């Protein structure tokens, strides 16, 4: 079997990779949609020439070929491009062997994955935030996340984080896991002050409290708080995550399957985290191919023990084209999602949608 083409489709907020072979087996992957034009160029101009004519089943060799051959361009954009290709290669392997990807990643460790609702938006007043959290819990979720803070470690005021979390906790009660995501909002000292007050409200984890590049700041926060500090959604490759672990910068690692290097790399990151006694809770704001890949990762990874991120589609801007990429949507049932059971990623991609809306 040989790869005959690697194509990228930009479909209204999605970056879809399609890897075609001379055996008629086609694999689909997804890249993070940040700077989608740049990512498309990475895949089509930088990675595709390295892949055409190669055996798609030799995933480790091809991952290394993509990573090493582009070392002069190494960075997050390259890793995002590699992620989409890598996911597509696993899809091809699963389809070729007529088995779900999670079986190839180590077998099913869990039959379904508990999800948390992501997220109550920042900018809502505390009362409205509490109402939104209650809506998520009433729909079946047993965990919810709220975004707080405003800017890149600038400690902008007024900060309604504590009032918002207090209102949410009063509304949803003591038995719901409540996560707080600052998206790099605070300096280290401010994050520690805020974090100590969040601990009193039984917050499950404090995500990216300070800008992700400040590893020393993250380590300082993690050391000062009893509440777990989560991070890693902006990071990529096992090499960066090794640094986070060695420096004690995160208690929960959050590699993103469509950013950090794909399924191959995230499995390595998870195994390394396990060696340090740390769990993984992948970042995931996707509900299409990226979600399917993340579910196969979660189903097969022992230390993915907590509730996992599920973006709530009804709260996104309506996008019927995006929602039609998969012929059957991935659905939440009682706050859980089961990994797709079909061969490969187990999802059916509508190529007509890709060709009509994503070609160019």
Q: What per-residue confidence (pLDDT) applies to 158?
A: 92
Looking at domain 104-337, its CATH architecture is Alpha-Beta Barrel (3.20)
Cα dihedral 89, 92, 93, 99 sign: positive
Q: What per-residue confidence (pLDDT) applies to 360?
A: 56
Q: What per-residue confidence (pLDDT) applies to 260?
A: 98
Q: Which of 314, 263, 349 is nearest to 136 (CA)?
A: 314
Tens digit of each residue's pLDDT (9 = 90 or more) over 152-210: 999 999 999 999 999 999 999 999 999 999 999 999 999 999 999 999 999 999 999 99
Topology alike, domains 3-98+348-358 and 104-337: no
Stretch (H or E) spanning 114: strand 113-120
Say yes or no to pLDDT of 355 above 90: yes
Q: How far is CA 324 from CA 196, 253, 291, in A?
A: 44, 31, 15
Mean pLDDT of the chain: 95
Residue 62: pLDDT band with limits 50, 70, 90: very high
Over pLDDT 70: what percentage of the chain?
98
Say yes or no to pLDDT of 228 above 60: yes
Q: Indicate left, alpha or beta for 158 from its phi (over 0: left) and psi (-120 to 50: alpha).
A: beta
Distance between CA atoms of residues 360 and 351, nearest Å = 14
Q: What per-residue confidence (pLDDT) applies to 193?
A: 98
Looking at domain 3-98+348-358, its CATH architecture is 2-Layer Sandwich (3.30)
Mean pLDDT of 258-263: 98
- What backbone torsions phi and psi does residue 126 show, to the nearest 5 degrees? -55, -40
Distance between CA atoms of residues 184 and 186, nearest Å = 6
Cβ neighbours around 193 below 10 Å, total:
14
Q: What per-residue confidence (pLDDT) applies to 177?
A: 98
Tens digit of each residue's pLDDT (9 = 90 or more) over 324-344: 999 999 999 999 999 999 999
- Scored b (16 or more CB within 10 A) or e, 205-222 reads bbbbbbbbebbebbbbbb
Q: What per-residue confidence (pLDDT) applies to 321?
A: 85
Mean pLDDT of 19-29: 98
Q: How far is CA 273 from CA 113, 237, 255, 267, 269, in A?
A: 19, 13, 11, 10, 6
Q: What per-residue confidence (pLDDT) applies to 72?
A: 81
Mean pLDDT of 314-323: 70
Residue 70: pLDDT band with limits 50, 70, 90: confident
Cα dihedral 250/87/76/243 (nearest 10)? 30
Residue 34: pLDDT band with limits 50, 70, 90: confident
Q: What per-residue confidence (pLDDT) applies to 316?
A: 53
Joined together, the tokens standing for residue 270 give 């998870």
Mean pLDDT of 285-298: 96
Say yes or no to pLDDT of 314 above 60: no
Say yes or no to pLDDT of 358 above 80: yes
- The answer to whether the pTM exceeds 0.85 is yes
Q: What per-residue confidence (pLDDT) applies to 275?
A: 98
Q: What per-residue confidence (pLDDT) applies to 78?
A: 95
- Listed by start position, the domains of the chain span 3-98+348-358, 104-337
Least confident of 5-9, 43-47, 323-327: 323-327
Say yes or no to pLDDT of 74 above 90: no
Residue 318: pLDDT band with limits 50, 70, 90: low
């Amino acid at each position: 079997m040989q790869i005959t083409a690697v194509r990228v489709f930009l479909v209204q907020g999605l970056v879809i990779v399609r890897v075609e072979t001379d055996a008629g087996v086609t694999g689909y992957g997804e890249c993070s949609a940040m700077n989608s034009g740049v990512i498309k160029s990475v895949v089509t101009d930088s990675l595709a020439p390295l892949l055409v004519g190669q055996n798609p089943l030799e995933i480790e060799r091809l991952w290394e070929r993509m990573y090493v051959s582009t070392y002069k361009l190494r960075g997050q954009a390259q890793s995002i491009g590699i992620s989409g290709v890598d996911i597509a290669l696993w899809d091809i392997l699963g389809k070729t062997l007529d088995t779900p990807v999670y079986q190839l990643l180590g077998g099913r460790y869990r039959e379904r994955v508990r999800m948390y609702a992501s997220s109550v938006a920042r900018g809502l007043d505390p009362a409205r935030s509490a109402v939104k959290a209650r809506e998520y819990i009433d729909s079946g979720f047993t965990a919810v996340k709220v975004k707080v803070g405003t800017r890149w470690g600038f400690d902008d005021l007024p900060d309604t984080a504590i009032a918002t979390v207090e209102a949410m906790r009063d509304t949803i009660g003591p038995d719901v896991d409540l996560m707080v995501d600052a998206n790099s909002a605070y300096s280290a000292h401010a994050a520690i002050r805020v974090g100590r007050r969040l601990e009193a409200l039984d917050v499950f984890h404090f995500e990216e409290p300070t800008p992700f590049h400040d590893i020393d700041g993250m380590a300082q926060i993690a050391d000062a708080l009893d509440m777990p500090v989560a991070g890693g959604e902006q990071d990529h490759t096992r090499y960066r995550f090794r640094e986070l672990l060695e420096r004690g910068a995160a208690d929960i690692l959050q590699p993103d399957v469509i950013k950090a290097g794909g399924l191959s790399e995230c499995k390595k990151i998870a195994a390394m985290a396990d060696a340090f006694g740390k769990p993984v809770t992948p970042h995931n704001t996707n509900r299409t191919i990226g979600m399917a890949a993340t579910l196969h990762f979660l189903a097969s990874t022992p230390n993915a023990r907590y509730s996992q991120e599920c973006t709530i589609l009804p709260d996104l801007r309506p996008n019927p084209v995006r929602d039609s990429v998969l012929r059957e949507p991935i659905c939440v049932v009682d706050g859980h999602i089961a990994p797709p059971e079909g061969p490969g990623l187990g999802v059916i991609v509508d190529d007509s949608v890709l060709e009509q809306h994503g070609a160019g």
